[in-house]
Structure 1
Amino acid sequence: MAKKLEGTQTLGNLMKAFAGESQARMRYTYYASRARKDGYNQIEEIFLETADNERAHAKRFFDAILDGIDEQPKMVNVNADYPVALGDTLFNLKEAAAGEHEEHTILYPGFAKIAKEEGFAGISSIFMNIARVEVEHEERYLAFVDNIIKDRVFKRETAVKWKCRNCGYVHDDLVTPDLCPACAHPKNHFEIKAYNW
């Protein structure tokens, strides 16, 4: 029989992590809408993809809670602070990066340490593996911050292949066309073509 979470700090930490990932998911969907409004369709998709990642993280934490309690419903009281922030896309990217940074440098390593000390090695591993994902999220957000600040979202110093996310048209140049020659969608539908095969 698995060790139970009742009366442990790990139970509270799992609930904090579940709540944090859940509210981050919702914030990222709001940030996605703002990115689209600001003309950054690729960043919109990145926020939506990350929101789905956060959903998966929340589920993993929730499942760990369910596995470690005896009866349902179970009320778990947590005292924690969660960010409230919404601005333009640059502001939202910076806020998202800061949240991801806190998760992978402070929160999850601390939660993992406590879980291990309390005899929950598997839960400790969950925290550390999810922290690794948060590193990737932070790096991606900061790269987009840099691209916006340096006006590199739709232009580069050397020619690249820009792909229209709507129709697949590929344009080889320093900058995106104002309108896609194939489908007439505006430049905010272009991103640098990725080769992931």
Structure 2
Amino acid sequence: MDNKFESSQTFENLKKSFEDEAKLYFRYKFFLSVSEYEGLDKTSKILRDFSEGSLDNVNGSLDFLRNFKDPSSMVPIGNSTQNIASILQTEIEQTSEIYPQMAKVAREEGFTDVASWFDTLEKLKRNHVTRLKENQSV
């Protein structure tokens, strides 16, 4: 695969596969916790199996993408230094743009509890940025 791969529909499809499967994995895990709480052993087994399979799918797509760019930050990934830089870029974007804007909209629409949740996420991400930057200087 060469640089033209990054401008291909296949590259876009791998990014979409990665994102969709990652979301699905966490939905399976959430639904699994509900079914376990409800004591539904058969349903829990199915959801556990599906979540494990979905995680394999996420890893498979990322394995192809790692030779090019992180599907979220579009920063090159591969070694730990690159991977931390990629994650750091995403965390900074979430802290400085995404979560503050989401909180603002939620407040404007009257959903103060959701706005508070976005504020909490922004603070958490700010802590992540600090820790990642400290790790880079080690």
When normalised by structure 2's length, the TM-score is 0.47
- Which protein is richer in helix relative to its size? 2
> Which protein has the larger Cα radius of gyration, Structure 1 or Structure 2?
1
Q: Which structure has greater strand proportion?
A: 1
